[in-house]
Amino acid sequence: MGMIKKTLLTGVKPTGMPHVGNFLGAIRPALALAEQESYNSFLFIADYHSLTHVHKAEELRQMTYEVAATWLALGLDPEKSVFYRQSDVPEVFELNWILACFSPKGLLNRAHAYKAKLQDNQEAGRSDPDYGVNMGLFTYPLLMAADILLFSADQVPVGEDQVQHLEIARDIAQKFNNNYGPLLKVPEFLVQKESKLVPGLDGRKMSKSYGNTIPLFVPSNRLRKLVMKIKTDSSPPEAPKDPNDSLIFTLYREFASAEEVDSFADHYRRGISWGEAKEALYQVMDRTLSEPRARYEELMADTRQVDQLLLSGAERARPLAQSKLKELRKAIGL
């Protein structure tokens, strides 16, 4: 008996090489979902979303490859998931316009990113409240709604910061449906607890803006150096230590087997030197990352491979997008 598969879709904005926090909080859980047989999964690089703030061609191109190569290196199977670049599916923009005509401006006025800009301007005492706001930034949630609704996504895994955008997409879909009938699938979101709080080197949440990250595919010796920089207290080597109060341990458990975690915890309670603990962490991280790192380097050295994979993903995506649009155009009277 055929099972009706749900559509899982998510977009990743290019921001350069992801770090360990991105991997544990977003990439790994999304890949685990995409692998499930119960889903048809779509994963795309939201390069046009980056254009709202990245205005250097070489930078945008490089960041796009880095993010695509990262996902592929970490095991994204482009046969199973439809993996494409947003900009290779121009149908998104036709839907974007249609949706714009069903989006009250006030809805977008309330979007967090836009409101944060308004507030910055107010705090800086600027006379123009919209200073530094381009229309791409303002309509960012609309483009995201188009990404999602075009493929009738059932479920969209996102970080907590994107939940409002999903609510906006749902709102717009409902407005459209109220007028024309249930043509747009109203998507659900799956919130990924990025706030699983992967700690950075200094113990705060790992984040580019804090400069405390461990980039995912740095060479092994550099990885080791970074791990050695993780903040620790001054307790002496032989002192018993609480595994649940240790950055090193928190990271270790994400990369090690259950038995390894147990025995590491024992070692903590018996007393472990921070140097030893860090060495053990480095070992399990390097073990997990070395193969993907090699694959990443190989892909980055031959970006034509990446282009080809992305283009063949777009070739699979476009017919679906076109048939959806055909249906919508008819419904709106074109």
Q: Where does this chain bind ligand TRP (CB under 6 A)?
A: 10-11, 13, 46, 49, 144, 147-148, 156, 158, 162, 165
Choice between 11 and 18, CB closer to ligand TRP: 11
Nearest to 49 by CA among 138, 179, 144: 144
Comparing CB distances to ligand TRP, the nearer of 46 and 74 is 46
Distance, CA of 109 to chain centre: 24
Closest of 164, 152, 151, 153 to residue 191, by C-alpha: 164
Distance CA 227, CA 199 (A): 12
CB of 286 to ligand TRP, least distance (A): 28
Q: Which residues pair with 44 in a beta bridge?
A: 11, 84
Neighbours of 175 (CB within 10 A): 17
Q: Which is nearer to ligand TRP, 95 or 277 (CB)?
A: 95
Annotated catalytic residue: which of 117, 241, 278, 324? 117
Least distance between ligand TRP and beta carbon 328 (Å)? 18
66 Cβ contact list (under 8 Å, min separation 6): 14, 16, 17, 18, 300
Residue nearest to ligand TRP (CB): 11
117 catalytic residue (yes or no)? yes
Q: Is 155 exposed, middle or buried (0-12, 13-18, 19+ CB in 10 A)?
A: middle
**Least distance in angstroms from the C-beta of 145 to ligand TRP:** 8
From the number of C-beta atoms within 10 Å of its C-beta (0-12, 13-18, 19+), residue 267 rates as: middle
Tokens of residue 274, six digits: 């921070």
Nearer residue to ligand TRP within complex by CB, 13 or 170: 13
CB-facing half-sphere around the CA of 179: CA atoms within 13 A = 14
Return the beta strands (E) in the chain as ranges.
6-12, 39-45, 82-85, 155-159, 188-192
Q: Which residue is it, tokens 């490859």?
A: 65
Q: What is the nearest approach in angstroms of ligand TRP to the Cβ of residue 193?
A: 15
Catalytic residue among 80, 175, 196, 205: 205
| 99 versus 156: smaller Cβ distance to ligand TRP | 156
User: How many Å from the N-terminal Cα to the C-terminal Cα in the chain?
Assistant: 39
- Return all residues near 54 (Cβ < 8 A) that are at least 6 apart: 14, 60, 63
Nearer to ligand TRP by Cβ, of 166 and 281: the residue is: 166
Distance, CA of 166 to CA of 85 (rounded, Å): 20
Q: Least CB distance from residue 266 to ligand TRP, whole Å?
A: 39
Catalytic residue among 6, 175, 196, 208: 208
The CA angle 72-302-315, to the nearest 5 degrees, is: 60
Active site residues: 117, 205, 208
